[in-house]
Structure 1
Amino acid sequence: MSKFQAITSLFILVFIIIFVTYKITAFSSNHSTTNHSTSNRYIQLQLLGVNDFHGQLNKYQMVSGTMAGGAEYLAAYLKKYKQENPNTLLVHAGDMVGGSPPISSQFQDEPTIEFLNLLHFDVGTPGNHELDEGVNEMKRLIHGGFNKKTGYFQGADTAYSSANIIDRKSGIPLLPPYVIKQMDGIDIGFIGVVTKETNMYVSPENRKEVEITDEVSAINRTVKILKDKGIKVIVVLAHNSAKSEKTGANSTGALVEMAPKIDDEVDVIFAGHSHEYANTVSAGKLIVQAYSNGKALSQVNLEIDPHTKIIVKKRAKIIATSHHHIKPDEETVALLNKYRKRLGSNFNQVIGEMPEEIRRNQDANGESPLAKMIAESEREVMGVDIAFVHQGEMRKSLKKGKITVEDLYTNVPMGHSVSKLILTGEQIKLALEQQWTKDYENRLQTVGLTYDWEAKAPIGSRVVVLKDKKGQVIQPNNEYEVAVSNYLASGGDNFTAFEQGRLVESGPQVVTALIRHIQQKYPPHSLKE
């Protein structure tokens, strides 16, 4: 090879190397830019949701083998994820109050609303338990006002929505049917609804001012309003049930059944009421529910095209508020300490010691040991032979070992009182027949009587043998003294037969009767010695 050829070849080789290097660099630069452009093309919106908190500010539960829950840990997780994305809204799907432990219930659930205010929840909807103490008390917690027990309260900073709680006088929704929030130039419409079962679970006197209407109709009517305003991102906060496997498969519940009937412009539905896990898609709608009591939260991530303002991608996670992975939020700890101090030491008093756990759940025969114990305590305190208790009266089983006043107020939190009624034998039988409807079974727990029933008999004719504790047949026209909660006495849980009874005496709170029973039957060892 000549010297000229060698130089020429070397020049060509250098040129090729430079050219290839340039193309590789250019390709890498363009690929990176494309990725960057793609990731920034869409607006990343995060929704963090909670449901069915029930004022569980200072209560913890096991989730998948780890301790979770408690306001200070829930707050820490919400703040952590909110810091990761400035385009974040905090939402809840109802029952944030009601059935609460003493740290909240003894102050009319104001501490729980303070907690939500501390975290700056953006949008919420009432569940059925927000109505436990009536419409006016619900409105006071939301809008602020005076209560004779606690004085003036400033109310919630959260914007509340409910499209199907209708004021009977005006015929319009009691609360705004929708709330619009803007995030990074995108308008997001939120629609709140509560289960129609509220008509069954809230006593008639506490919902007499309102009518709970069909959820799907209320949602679709409100969606039309939002669509007319040009809003294309619509989220429903529904205090209705949903459930799925962790994979999203085998989804069930009211919202899964409703989803095909709900306007397709609805993109995401936050569920509640059933305290289950849900992370599934039904009829194109992403449905999530994060258990209950603050032991988990729902994280929904949306990618939105800023030009069309349409969601192009949506995904969700249910995140347990595990204590192992985060430190408690200091602001929330200070709030809890304030109310612990105000609560005092009376609730720490040990009133009994249980030799074994008393289960809340019903056995194969439909019997709940804890409900039976409550019924017995009501029978004793009112001096009658017969007592009835509904399954919703208690929230948790009674643990083995020492029992404090706080334990009982937490397990039996509803604040119901005991009533003595006079019922005929026919009315007692009717109450028992009302345990079964075409849609569900809702078993009463009884003491002082026994009965046989036929599962295959027509609804309304299932009770075939009904006797008192002495074995005497309950006579249809005879009158009997019966103890029930004031909730059942007013027809709660659709047991309207009790409304037909004659009220002859009002007694102490149900929890007070239970405390007396345990003190007498299961005193602490120190009292025995």
Structure 2
Amino acid sequence: MPATSPASAHQERRRRRTNRFVALTAGVVTVGALAAAALPGSASAGEERHEGGHGHGRYQDVQLLSFNDLHGNLEPPAGSSGRVTETQPDGTTKTIDAGGVEYLATHLRQARKGEKYSITAAGGDMVGASPLISGLFHDEPTIEALNKLDLDVTSVGNHEFDEGAKELARLQNGGCHPKDGCYADEKFKGADFPYLAANVLDEKTKKPILKPYWVWKKNGVKVGFIGVTLEGTPDIVSAEGVKGLSFKDEVETINKYAKVLQKQGVKSIVALLHEGGFPASTSYNYDCDSPGAGDGISGPIVDIAKNVTPQVDALVTGHTHNAYVCSIADPAGKPRMVTSAASFGRLYTDTTLTYDRRTGDIARTAVKSANRVVTRDVPKAPDMTELISKWNTLAAPIGNKPIGYISGDIGNTGSESPLGDLIADAQLAHGKQLDPETDLALMNPGGIRAPLTYAAKAGEGDGVVTYAEGFTVQPFANTVNLQDFTGAQVVQALKEQVSGPNAAAPKVLQVSSGLTYTLDLTKSGADRVVTDSIKLNGAAIDPAATYRVATNSFLAGGGDGFPTLGQGTNDVVGSDDLTALEQYLTANSSASNPIAPPKADRITIVK
């Protein structure tokens, strides 16, 4: 074999790298071509890229691994919450079981092998709305798991405020829970990584409650991270959770701190933003930048991305639980990578940022990114298995208690879901215990966090619903509240599902048995709710009559864009919503007579 000079060998490696980017694998998006001509310095760019040895070339690839919306899902999520959809080369789709921190840890550790410059970041909602193994212990187990995952930095999300700013500070700084104390006689050490909350201010001091930004440094390479959550957090979190806080505009905040970082000499900047979008396909590997895709993504993130300063090189997003890797033009008209890795640890995003040592900035034309599936066909990480076993042992006496029986999977997908109907019926039954005159119940879909699955888990039989499973479905500890509303207010609340803050992304309330109506999606705004079709037990709603309505305390405070539900009178507070579900399942099911999945036929959908 003829000898090869170092220069020609380098050129051959360069050629192979370029060819790999030209022949993209499914789901990989590049912002521009990585050909040498596209980089500053043209021919010299390839020659100066660092390929090993003790020196540093001009260009250094930095690996950015990211995920979002974990929500304390340490164990593999059940049902549809634990699957992703993948588009095949022939256009068909298949589902893949995914998620679980034992597998996430293995995938991330494998991805980091051989990468000397690697950062792991997250886009918020690491905790909150968590399954029992984490939620029962105020999400200390999840923070411990994230420490073991070597998470470097995350933004806050709305769910980081479920238990208020003081509890968030405890998760960051450590210390035992003020009411429940220390678990397993161990003092909680807190997060090894910084939570960033640039746009969350203390109303008194007007300063961020946590660090607004953080800078990763290695061998002269510096990458700054700015963390924000959606400005509308107070609309989707209980009033107590955001008491004393103000949430500022996402774009203005990111732009403000991008200038601060620039003045400090940090030119490479990533925004961790807990707000997201809606891709045109549910497949995780959908290429929203492919020819013919058109507007491959919609939703709040589009306008935000178009207005965030060009000084920011990439946006890691979340909140909508969707998967996407898209390029959206910045205010200067240049494409910029915007990513989201779905939710529950089912995916992670692998992004390559090419750092220019001469300018200190990211060579945007060289950025490439793809979502990767956290498959369950890899070895489990032993340290995560040990962590899960530890906390499951502590939770077992409570979590393994049977609370009901079902005859099949009861799902939580669709405008009206079988599980939504079941929960609304449970809250109506609980309401009637408090006041026999209770007429109906309304449940917000976002409060239903997982399906009820028929298949047996360890320690139970098929169809058994345990307390742990119920907790996973309804982890918020909202109370069931009774309030009086006029018929006109009931109609207005139903119209708020598809108008006001919910016009672009409708939030269809789950309704109890007896309430029926038509939702006409061919119309726009509030008109999508057909007023004449709204009936209770077959009778039209009387605008002047008074109706006794059961909702959870979140809706009773006007949450999720339902201000009318915050205007009820004659308030009576019942037990928490999980207790209501437990009581309903216990009273209406047995091993010999399980509950069948509701038909989800109370709302007629016209498309």
Q: TM-score, normalised by structure 1?
A: 0.87
What is the match of residue 449 of structure 1? 515
- 1:468, distance to aligned residue in structure 2 (A): 6.2
Structure 1 residues 38 and 374: CA distance shift in structure 2, 3 A? closer
What is the match of residue 121 of structure 2? 91
Structure 1 residue 293 and structure 2 residue 347: aligned?
no
What is the match of residue 32 of structure 1? 9
Once the two structures are superposed, the pairs formed by residues 76-475 of structure 1 within 5 Å of their partners are 76-145=106-175, 146-151=177-182, 153-242=188-277, 244=279, 246-249=286-289, 250=293, 251-253=296-298, 254-283=300-329, 284-312=335-363, 313-324=366-377, 326-362=378-414, 366-383=415-432, 384-400=438-454, 401-437=463-499, 438-447=503-512, 448-451=514-517, 456=523, 459=526, 464-465=531-532, 469-475=536-542
- 1:278, distance to aligned residue in structure 2 (A): 1.2
Distance 1:229 1:70 in 2: 39
What is the match of residue 552 of structure 2? 485
Structure 1 residues 77 and 29: CA distance shift in structure 2, 3 A? closer
- 1:122, distance to aligned residue in structure 2 (A): 1.2
Distance 2:406 2:528 in 1: 39
Percent sequence identity is 32
Distance 1:279 1:293 in 2: 17
Residue aligned with 2:405, SS: strand
Structure 1 residues 217 and 342: CA distance shift in structure 2, 3 A? same
Structure 2 segments unaligned to the other structure (5+ residues): 14-46, 52-56, 87-94, 280-284, 330-334, 433-437, 455-462, 596-607
Distance 1:256 1:480 in 2: 41
Structure 1 segments unaligned to the other structure (5+ residues): 1-20
Residue aligned with 2:369, SS: strand
One of 48, 64, 69 as aligned partner of 1:52: 69
Structure 1 residues 281 and 382: CA distance shift in structure 2, 3 A? same
Q: Which moved more, 1:463-472 or 1:193-202?
A: 463-472
1:170-227 CA-partner distances (Å, limit 9, x unpaired)? 2222222211121221221101111233232112232232222221111111111111
Residue aligned with 1:415, SS: coil
What is the match of residue 11 of structure 1? none
Letter in 1 for 2:426: S
Paired residues of 1:296 and 1:318 also in contact (CA < 8 A): yes
1:262-307 CA-partner distances (Å, limit 9, x unpaired)? 1112111111111122122222211221121111111112222223
Q: Which moved more, 1:496-505 or 1:329-338?
A: 496-505
Distance 1:457 1:48 in 2: 40
Letter in 2 for 1:446: V
Residue aligned with 1:375, SS: helix
Distance 2:239 2:464 in 1: 37
Residue aligned with 2:113, SS: helix
One of 576, 581, 587 as aligned partner of 1:520: 587
Instruction: Give structure 1 regions of 4+ aligned residues with deviation exceeding 4 angstroms.
Output: 33-37, 451-458, 460-463, 470-473
Residue aligned with 2:133, SS: helix
Distance 1:66 1:445 in 2: 29
Residue aligned with 1:107, SS: coil
What is the match of residue 3 of structure 1? none
- 1:29, distance to aligned residue in structure 2 (A): 4.3
Distance 2:109 2:508 in 1: 42
What is the match of residue 568 of structure 2? 501
Distance 2:589 2:395 in 1: 25
Distance 2:400 2:495 in 1: 41
What is the match of residue 15 of structure 1? none
Paired residues of 2:498 and 2:525 also in contact (CA < 8 A): no
Distance 2:315 2:140 in 1: 27
Distance 2:594 2:406 in 1: 14
Paired residues of 1:304 and 1:310 also in contact (CA < 8 A): yes
Paired residues of 1:193 and 1:238 also in contact (CA < 8 A): yes
Letter in 1 for 2:585: I
Paired residues of 1:360 and 1:370 also in contact (CA < 8 A): yes
Paired residues of 2:68 and 2:125 also in contact (CA < 8 A): yes
Distance 1:500 1:353 in 2: 37
Structure 1 residues 33 and 293: CA distance shift in structure 2, 3 A? closer
Q: Which moved more, 1:239-248 or 1:403-412?
A: 239-248
Letter in 2 for 1:184: N
Distance 1:163 1:357 in 2: 42
Q: CA RMSD in A?
A: 2.6
Structure 1 residues 243 and 315: CA distance shift in structure 2, 3 A? farther
Paired residues of 2:215 and 2:222 also in contact (CA < 8 A): yes
Q: Which moved more, 1:432-441 or 1:376-385?
A: 432-441
Structure 1 residue 62 and structure 2 residue 83: aligned?
yes
Structure 1 residues 469 and 306: CA distance shift in structure 2, 3 A? closer
- Aligned residue-pair number: 501
Q: Which moved more, 1:345-354 or 1:374-383?
A: 345-354
Paired residues of 2:518 and 2:534 also in contact (CA < 8 A): no
Paired residues of 1:234 and 1:268 also in contact (CA < 8 A): yes
Letter in 2 for 1:31: S
Letter in 2 for 1:246: Y
- 1:127, distance to aligned residue in structure 2 (A): 0.8
Distance 1:367 1:458 in 2: 19
- 1:351, distance to aligned residue in structure 2 (A): 3.1
Distance 1:321 1:391 in 2: 26
Residue aligned with 1:237, SS: strand
The structure with the largest alpha-carbon Rg is: 1
- 1:236, distance to aligned residue in structure 2 (A): 0.7
Higher helix share: 1
Distance 2:525 2:235 in 1: 22
